[in-house]
Structure 1
Amino acid sequence: MYIFCLLNESEFESYVNQAEHGNYLQTKEMGRLKTQRGASVSFPALKDEQNNVVIAALMTKTKLGVGYVFDIDGLEVPKENEALLSEFFEKLKKHAKDEAGLYLTVTPNAPYSTYDYRGNPLSEKNEALMRTFVNSGFAHEGFYQGYAADGNPQWIYKKDLAGYSESDLLKSYGKDAKYSLNKAGSFGIRTRELAYEELGLFKEITERTSVRRNFTDKTLEYYQTVFQAYGERAKFVVAEINFQTYLDSLSEQKKKLEQKLLDVEAFLEVNPNSRKKNNQKREFSDELSTFEKRILDGEQMLKENGEHVSLACALFLTCPHETVYLFSGTEEKYKKLYAPFLIQDKMLKYSVAENIPVYNFYGIEGVFDGSDGILKFKQAFNGYAEEKIGTFKLIINPTKYKGYMLLKHTREFISKLRGRG
């Protein structure tokens, strides 16, 4: 026998922190963020006879013309306890009905299926959970590929970190990540967290990126609200370079390479037919040309931009169960400096140090044919893909819902007519 109740923030935080599984969408910080952005937030739950919370969720309530829509995003589903989930939904439906609800949407934090980094299936489809929702009266909203317009991706990319040490972590990366980190490190690029007063810099980079990639950026006010709501659990990270230090590093590496080339040429004067040394000569000569070009580019960058320049940035949210990589920006003209790799490495190391078991790279298209450049970047760190089970809708008041949908379609039709005029 379970008792339905609404938890306060402190009770919900205790439940989340003690739970085996969790995610950034179901935290007190997310509740504060939604509240500060004007949403009405509550924490519905079931307690057992010993007053222990057995299931709970962060839920929002939004006013529509003739009622309210209730939404739970990231619901943690109890494993192998269909009866508990069904009872929770039954009592949640009654609560929503008492609160003049039109409908309830639930997006579980659960995969429909998992795939390796190449897109090969690792698990069966989660039809059992699908049936549980359907048996409780929900309708599935459907599956899709591509990036979500509402910011709630159908496909995500993850890396499990449980049991990793920092040295193990680096070894687990793919060759592209290792190469890029070595290069970025040799350029003298540094990463750090931004203070609240520096969020304007973050916004400048993400805005320029959004224009270039044709997506809608968040406002500065949004980033400021995230910073205030999440505190230490929000990490605004920036990668920066001192171009004079960068040039000094390149010059030093160029000198070492020139000495290697001189040594090879000296050897070839005595042994001109050495295949190995002739190959090395070509290799070192090509590298030397690359360094010379980088030095020329670096001198031009120093002249145009000064010594200190921000190259890339990213926002991460953390909770006891996962680190999630949400938003980022990169200055296009500096992309060959590999700064985003250093930012990811910094936060992966942070997650390992803080014993956070899952690193969530977040959204991908769900297409593994090489066309998704964002996926390619995330694949470099090795991990796996999840196709989320998606969103379910439960109609609370069918009569009012039909009226609401009729009104909505009428308004959309009139709007189209006006557009034609």
Structure 2
Amino acid sequence: MAQAQKTYLIGQITSAELDALSARHPQGNFQQTSNMAALVKPTVKAVDFVGVRKAADGSIVAGCMIAYTKGHLGLEGSIWVGPLCDEDDTELLAAMTRAITVSARKHHAVSVSCWPGQVYMRRTSDGEPDGAADDLAIDNMKRLGWRHAGFDRGYGSIVNRWVYVKDLSGVSDEKALLKSYDKRTQWSVKRASSMGVHVRELGVGELGVFADIERQTAERRGFEYRGEGYFRRFKEAFGGAAHFMVAEIHVAEYVADMEAKRDALQAKVEALQAKQAQHPTTRTERQLGEETRNLEAARKRLAEAAEYAGDGDVLPAAASLFVENPRETVYLFSGSVERYKPFYASALIQHWAMLHLCVERGVGRYNFYGISGVFDDPDDEGRGVLEFKQGFNGYVEELVGEFTLPVSHVRFALMQGLRKLLKR
């Protein structure tokens, strides 16, 4: 490694060293791993691993994976949710920037863009500030030549600047986990469990089930569908760290439960009818009316269950992809079947992931990933997603955002001018 400053040495690191750093770093995440490099390798021109070591003992204190893709005037580097570096530490950030610059010049890149995992401001679940803004990190980046893209809202096309997180530290069992949600979400999870919905992990040979649900959801909501091939490559790259989960309705179990509820309500109504006939009271009449309505609702649900039975014995209702990292579990992709929305399968999948991938494994951070960052517009496209995630009672991390470091200043200026022309 070449010496950058008295304190640090910079240069290339191995993929194993990046993985070890990602596992222990406060900003560690699945995108800064050798697994991610394996996933994107067929679609990029080059991948490089660079880092910063302490000169005293050679320990790695910062690092990242840079993926180089072909642009109009040469290669452009991308660092997704990285670099793994404390952007508040001026000296360390300078060394990390130098390491990135050396790599970019070696690859004759025009520029490198990064989306650090550094939190700009922590916010409440409703988006209100919950602490001071980290302007120092942004100022340090700018002083080193990084250009900030600004404080945008909406879903990011590459990396989301707004993420929703749940702190699970101190949650020791399922009872405590369920209690940590708001009342509506607690009801949804319990309701799904009582309606014959079960969650299981899909095998590699079953990824078509996940892809089909994802495709239906993409068509319904108007977002990009990545295709079954991408999900298969993801599983190959991440192996046991990637969990493709499906929530399925077991129709026979659901029908049996509905029949039992109908029979119990029928008995209750008959008992109230006999009581009212023998000794009429306003209270009994009111109870009879309420239970009669409940019985009619149960009969209606039972009739609907018969319709669902026509779809099959076990019905995939929702699917999600979760990715593990030693620091957190990330909820990355999901989809649901609109017809089976009344079964609340999506809520049960989230509960399953938090319980089995976090609480039982001692992982204290569950990352719901992207939200739009818009909290005051009920018509915002991300409103439904926000409200769903808010039901689990987490908090919001507003990240520092996108930065771009020009490496070849002449080509970068030409590229900027070209992009302006294309926008006209």
TM-score (norm 2): 0.91
Which amino acid letter does the alignment assign opposite residue 348 of structure 1? M
Counterpart among 284, 292, 314 of residue 308 in structure 1 = 314
- Write out per-residue CA displacement over residues 355-404 of structure 1, whole angstroms, 9 at most, x where no aligned residue: 22211111112122344011111111110112221101111111122233
Report the alpha carbon displacement of residue 50 of structure 1 after superposing the two structures with TM: 0.6
Matched residue, 1:358: 365
Whether the 8 Å contact between 2:97 and 2:144 is mirrored in structure 1 is: yes
The one-character-per-residue Cα deviations of 1:336-368 (angstroms, maximum 9, x if unpaired) are: 111111111110102111122211111112122
User: 2:249 is aligned with what amino acid?
Assistant: I
- Aligned twin of 1:159: 166
1:89 is aligned to: 97
CA contact (8 A) 1:268 1:274 kept: no
Aligned-partner Cα distance in 1 for 2:287–2:28: 53
State percent identity of aligned pairs. 30
Aligned residue for 2:96, secondary structure, equals helix
Change (3 A) 1:316 1:265: same
Letter in 1 for 2:394: G
Aligned partner of 1:13 in structure 2 is: 19
Q: Deviation string for 1:225-281 (max 9, x for gaps)?
A: 001000011110011112222111100111122233344444545664454x55543
Structure 2 counterpart of 1:235: 243
1:281/1:213 CA distance change after superposition, 3 Å:
same
CA gap of 1:104–1:79, structure 2 versus 1, over 3 A, is closer
Residue 25 of structure 1 corresponds to which residue in structure 2? Answer: 31
CA contact (8 A) 1:158 1:359 kept: yes
Opposite residue 331 of structure 1, the aligned amino acid is V
How big is the shift at 1:113? Answer: 1.6
1:36–1:225 contact (8 Å) kept in structure 2: no
Query: Partner residue of 1:419?
Result: none
RMSD: 2.0
Contact 2:11–2:99 (8 Å) recurs in 1:
no
Q: In structure 2, which of residues 208, 217, 237 is the aligned counterpart of residue 209 of structure 1?
A: 217
Q: Which moved more, 1:354-363 or 1:340-349?
A: 354-363
Of the structure 1 ranges 365-374 and 398-407, higher mean CA displacement relative to structure 2 is found in 398-407
Q: Is the aligned partner of 1:40 residue 2:84?
A: no
The corresponding residue for 1:283 is 290
Which of 109, 116, 125 is residue 117 of structure 1 equivalent to?
125
SS at match of 1:43: strand
Inter-partner Cα distance in structure 2 for 1:120 and 1:406 = 38
Using the TM superposition, give the Cα deviation of residue 4 of structure 1 relative to its aligned residue in structure 2, in angstroms. Answer: 0.7
The aligned residue for residue 405 of structure 2 is 394
1:71-220 equivalent positions in 2, closer than 5 A: 71-75=78-82, 76-78=84-86, 80-148=88-156, 150-166=157-173, 167-220=175-228
Gaps of 5+ in 2: 1-6
TM-score relative to the length of structure 1 = 0.91
Which residue of structure 2 lines up, in the alignment, with residue 330 of structure 1? 336
Deviation at 1:109, TM superposition (A): 0.4
Alignment partners' CA distance in 1, 2:280 and 2:123: 52
2:296 maps to a residue whose letter is S
- One-letter identity of the residue aligned with 1:172: S
Q: For residue 47 of structure 1, give the secondary structure of its aligned residue in structure 2.
A: strand
Determine whether 1:62 maps to 2:73. Answer: no
Q: Is 1:96–1:104's contact at 8 Å kept on the other side of the alignment?
A: yes
In the alignment, the residues of structure 2 paired with residue 208 and residue 201 of structure 1 have an alpha-carbon distance, to the nearest angstrom, of 11
- Kindly provide the amino acid, as one letter, of the partner of residue 179 in structure 1: W
Q: CA–CA distance in 2 between the matches of 1:378 and 1:25?
A: 22
Q: Cα distance, 1:186 vs. partner?
A: 1.0
Q: Unaligned 5+ residue runs, structure 1?
A: 417-421
Structure 1 counterpart of 2:390, one-letter code: Q
Which residue type is aligned with residue 389 of structure 1? V
Q: 2: distance between equivalents of 1:407 and 1:319?
A: 39
Write out per-residue CA displacement over residues 112-165 of structure 1, whole angstroms, 9 at most, x where no aligned residue. Answer: 2222122222122221111111111111112222223x2421211110112211
In 1, Cα distance between equivalents of 2:127 and 2:362: 28
1:56-92 superposed Cα distances (whole Å, 9 cap, x missing partner) = 1121122334332122111233275222112221342
- C-alpha distance in 2 between matches for 1:263 and 1:77: 69
Residues matched between the structures, number: 410
